[in-house]
Chain A
Amino acid sequence: MNTVIQNSVDNNLSISGIFSNSHFKRVITNGKSNFIDAKIDKYIQFLELNEGATRKDALKAMYSYLLSEYRCEYVYKNFITKKILLGRHSLNTSTLLNEFRVGSSLADLVLINGKSVVYEIKTELDTPERLEDQLADYRKTFTHIYLVTHHSLIEKYLSILKDEEVGLIALTNNFTLSEVREAKKETRYLDITTMFKSLRKEEYSNIIESEYGEVPDVPNMYYFKECLKLAEQMPPKHFHKLMTTELKKRKPKETTPFKENLLPEYLNSVCMAIDPTANQYDRLFQFLNTKIN
């Protein structure tokens, strides 16, 4: 009897596609996702589920498949998210940002807690191709950079990374994150324009107001440029400090599920990204706890 999912490119992509923000966004708004149900249907015969199993069980089994067969970016994101939320940094003192745009890069995860830490994920499926450009963008905005990769690639990245300040974290065989090298604080490259452009209007307005006591009184076609002009007169380190204060305010609407550890571990990162309200969490749990026939 063969009841395991065969490792194939199709299955890998097909299963990793489930753990995406867009499908779970549909779940929290409409209470259903045809896409997720179709995937469960497709793989149910391989999942070795017990009688009365729920969607939660099916998703867990599929996530386990990813852990052993196809460690995609989502798996890493989830481990980092979990470690940060349940580890040293709690949600009271830190904020975690998903896919944060900085320069022409998109930072996988950013942690704001007094300092600013960016986590760049390079899985076994990635190439180091864009790494130098990404690091250049990150240095302009964050004081600490970590590269997170599979333990088998640590040597490779140690030789690639010319930059001693970049820290390294390995995903080990037994799925823990272990720090190979600590990230060193680096503020020399902080660049106001890059930091400024990563912020929302409300955030940079607050910074300008706290620094100058008011915001420019100009029509909206000129507002951004005027604020940027004022920002560029500030010391970059100082601007960075005010930026972290603003970014810290991007809190999840609902922190209980994280704090009480109510989420299935494979959904930490998705929930961090889609940021459900209390009602939407109810919908999500209802969806997860529904039995599959």
Chain B
Amino acid sequence: MYFPYLRGKQYELISLRELSEKMSETGVIHPIIEPVKETTSTLRITCEQLVDAEVPFTLILNPSVGDLKDSLHEIIHFINAEVGDYEQLHLGVLIHSNTNLAPLNQSLNELENNYPFTIVHLSQYPDTDSLSDFYNDKTVHYNLFRDSNLVRRYRRIINQNTKVVLSDPFNSKRTNADYAKVPDEFFTDEHNFYHEDGYIGFSDYLTIGEDYSDSGFAPYAVTIHLTYLRDDGQIWIRHFVSDSNDDYTDVPGTYKEALDKLIEFINDENLQSSACEEFRKQAAAGHYPGLGSVKKLSIIHHIELIIGVLN
């Protein structure tokens, strides 16, 4: 199983909507959504579509970033009102040193339905006993681990058939132009080894990375990130960076520079995916759809790639 970990911003959610049919058909993807904006209509419609397509997914109850950081009640209310008794919804809980399990546990009483849990271990919880208590009355299908040492430490608490390895292979750079320095780098080969290492699945932050920023501003350079499978079974990532990066007066024209490089690459490698088709269409029409949509294509392409690898 692959667990793409996404922050619930508009284009991340739209990516999941556009992939819902494909995820449903193949059954190897379990998206994890960390809601970050006032529970918007985008989130509502996305959940509806995932439910309709019978895709399993996890919704994080205690986000660690964004506007909903301390809005447990709002998220629970949203689940009651909008998701209802969907058996394939998993409640996500982030565990880190600042997680406060007691009040969180208390609030779970407000849920009108029972759901299984996905526990995301970002770092060690200071009090192993109370963590153990937290597990007692819950069905936990998945435990995601950033740190493999915790797997040993928690072996009495968790079921071995729930382990998922969580990593962040995306090397975020400070500016878009910095990606030009290493335009091609190793991304992941987790898909080849997770099983061997005793995990039932793997998870990552796709081509966005764990760092969360909510500030959007016109970039000087435009970069498109595209993952691809090499003959040796490793997944690498290419960064296609525009050339004229000294101002942001002409973003569509700057985007075209990055896009032309991407098109040359996917044609040379003969890459096929619905995202690649979309990129080819953009180039042919000369139409720039906005940066959100570029991020969306990068996400969709990556999930499609993993679906191909796992099937």
Contacts and interface: CB of A to CB of B under 8 A. Distances in A.
A219 B287 contact: yes
Interface string A76-106: 0000000000000000000000000100100
Contact of B285 (A104, A219, A225): A219
B252 A220 contact: yes
B288 interface: yes
5 contacts: A196-B249, A219-B285, A220-B252, A221-B286, A222-B256
Interface in A30-85: none
Interface in A228-277: none
Chain B interface helix/strand/loop/mixed: loop
Nearest to B290: A220
A224 B286 contact: no
B253 A222 contact: yes
User: Which 6 A-B pairs rank lowest in CB-CB distance, beginning with the nearest?
Assistant: A219-B286, A224-B250, A221-B256, A197-B249, A220-B252, A221-B286
A222 B249 contact: no
A221 B252 contact: yes
B189 interface: no
Contacts of A197: 247, 249
Contacts of B249: 196-197, 224
A101 B248 CA distance: 11
Given A197-B247, A225-B253, 8 more contacts: A101-B247, A104-B246, A218-B286, A219-B285, A219-B287, A220-B288, A222-B253, A222-B256
A274 to B, nearest CB: 17
B117 interface: no
B255 interface: yes
Contacts of A221: 252-253, 255-256, 286-288
B39 to A, nearest CB: 20
A197 to B, nearest CB: 4
A205 to B, nearest CB: 13
Interface string B61-79: 0000000000000000000
Interface bracket on B: 10 to 19
Interface residues of A, number: 12
Contacts of A223: 252-253
A222 B256 CA distance: 9
A222 B246 CA distance: 18
Interface in B236-290: 246-247, 249-250, 252-253, 255-256, 285-288
A266 to B, nearest CB: 28
Contacts of B253: 221-225
Contacts of B250: 224-225
Interface string A198-230: 000000000000000000001111111100000
Interface in B75-114: none
Contacts of A225: 250, 253
A222 B251 CA distance: 10
**Most chain A CB atoms below 10 A, which of B250, B255, B256, B285:** B250
A220 B285 CA distance: 9
Contacts of B286: 218-222
B29 to A, nearest CB: 33
Nearest to A204: B249
**Most chain B CB atoms below 10 A, which of A196, A222, A225:** A222
A253 to B, nearest CB: 22
B288 to A, nearest CB: 5
Contacts of B252: 220-221, 223-224
B252 to A, nearest CB: 4
Nearest to A196: B249
A107 B2 CA distance: 51
Interface string A174-197: 000000000000000000000011
A220 B283 CA distance: 11
B286 to A, nearest CB: 3
Contacts of B256: 221-222
A255 B287 CA distance: 39
B283 to A, nearest CB: 9
A196 B288 CA distance: 21
A224 to B, nearest CB: 4
A101 B249 CA distance: 10
A104 B255 CA distance: 21
Nearest to A220: B252
Contacts of B246: 104
Contacts of A101: 247
Nearest to B283: A221
A101 B247 CA distance: 10
Interface string A136-157: 0000000000000000000000
A14 to B, nearest CB: 24
Nearest to A200: B249
A273 to B, nearest CB: 17
Contacts of B247: 101, 104, 197
A169 B247 CA distance: 31
Contacts of B255: 221
Contacts of A220: 252, 286-288
B250 to A, nearest CB: 4
A196 B252 CA distance: 16
